[in-house]
């Protein structure tokens, strides 16, 4: 019964999801990245399709196959992800930024392989654009959902991010807890609404977490 009533909960909605960890090029054979597996973002894309939404997935590299019935667009760096997202922002109802975007990129991309020479090597980094903050600044009536992986002071940082990025929902997890975060199939998250109110969820599969997030989004869409 539950499945029947939920099956078309997001019918007619255009949802943009980002996933994976961006790669920031150093030279032709090297890059900087992070521990994101893409599992949470891909689970969101699959569940959004199951709930009847039309889904675009903007994905940084992962080891995962493209979910069925999803318009998958592959990017590498934060700058590429930014262009792909901004291009589509005004045509969608919801953006879910599950991607782990590198905060910094190498100042210079070498066009030849860097050869080892000195005992120390300093790589200078510059800040990447904050894609989610930019979406928050330019928000019309989209529902904007962010993610945050923290190692301490989860509630404080989550509330700051909701406010500073103008979010409708933030999904936060403490990656130091076993069963939460990177490369595992479960997650333990707390949902923060736009007023910073916390709703902690129990440990569950990323698929179930995805469904809970999407049903929350459905609620937010119907309140608009």
Catalytic residue positions, numbered: 34
Determine whether 206 is exposed, middle or buried from the number of CB atoms within 10 Å of its CB (0-12, 13-18, 19+). Answer: buried
The answer to whether residue 130 forms part of the interface with ligand CTP (CB under 6 A) is yes
Determine whether 195 is exposed, middle or buried from the number of CB atoms within 10 Å of its CB (0-12, 13-18, 19+). Answer: exposed
Piece in contact with ligand CTP (CB under 6 A), picked from 1-9, 143-151, 175-183, 191-199: 143-151
Residue partners of 176: CB distance under 8 A and separation at least 6? 151, 152
H helix runs in the chain, sequence order: 2-6, 39-50, 78-88, 131-137, 154-164, 206-223
16 is in an annotated binding site: no
Longest dimension (CA), the chain: 66
Q: For 47, how many CA atoms within 13 A lie in the half-sphere containing its CB?
A: 24
The structure tokens listed for 91 are 């045509």
Q: Give the number of residues in contact with Ca ion, rule: CB under 5 A.
A: 1
Tokens 């190498």 appear where? 106
The answer to whether residue 148 forms part of the interface with ligand CTP (CB under 6 A) is yes
Piece in contact with ligand CTP (CB under 6 A), picked from 26-34, 50-58, 145-153, 198-206: 145-153
The answer to whether residue 78 forms part of the interface with ligand CTP (CB under 6 A) is yes
Rounded to the nearest 5 percent, the helix, strand and coil shares of the chain are 30, 30, 40
Piece in contact with ligand CTP (CB under 6 A), picked from 33-41, 46-54, 140-148, 212-220: 140-148
Selection from Ca ion, ligand CTP, none that 37 binds (CB < 5 to 8 A by kind) is none
170 is in an annotated binding site: no
Letters for 88-127 (x = contact with ligand CTP by CB under 6 A, - = none) are ---------x-x-x-x------------------------
165 is in an annotated binding site: yes
Of the candidates 11, 35, 103, 153, which one interacts with Ca ion according to CB under 5 A? 103
- Residues forming contacts to Ca ion in the complex (CB under 5 A) are 103
- Residues forming contacts to ligand CTP in the complex (CB under 6 A) are 78, 97, 99, 101, 103, 128, 130-132, 146-149, 161
Residues at the binding site are 103, 113, 129-132, 147, 161, 165
Residues at the binding site for CTP are 103, 113, 129-132, 147, 161, 165
């Amino acid at each position: 019964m539950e499945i029947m009533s939920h099956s078309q909960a997001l019918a007619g909605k255009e949802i943009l999801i980002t996933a994976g960890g961006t790669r920031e090029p150093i030279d032709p054979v090297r890059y900087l990245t992070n521990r994101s597996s893409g599992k949470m973002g891909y689970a969101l894309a699959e569940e959004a399709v199951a709930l009847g939404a039309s889904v675009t997935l903007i994905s940084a590299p992962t080891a995962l196959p493209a979910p069925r019935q999803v318009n998958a667009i592959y990017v590498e760096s934060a700058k590429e992800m930014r262009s792909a997202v901004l291009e589509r922002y005004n045509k969608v109802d919801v953006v879910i930024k599950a991607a782990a975007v590198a905060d910094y990129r190498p100042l210079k991309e070498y066009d030849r392989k860097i050869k080892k020479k000195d005992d120390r090597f300093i790589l200078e980094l510059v800040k990447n654009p904050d894609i989610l903050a930019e979406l928050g600044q330019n928000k019309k009536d989209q529902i904007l959902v962010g993610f945050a992986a923290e190692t301490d002071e989860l509630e404080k940082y989550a509330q700051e991010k909701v406010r500073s990025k103008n979010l409708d929902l933030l999904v936060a997890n403490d990656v130091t807890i076993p069963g939460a975060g990177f490369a595992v199939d479960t997650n333990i998250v707390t949902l923060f609404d736009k007023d910073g109110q916390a709703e902690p969820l129990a440990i569950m599969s990323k698929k179930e977490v995805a469904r809970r997030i999407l049903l929350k989004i459905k609620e937010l869409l119907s309140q608009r």
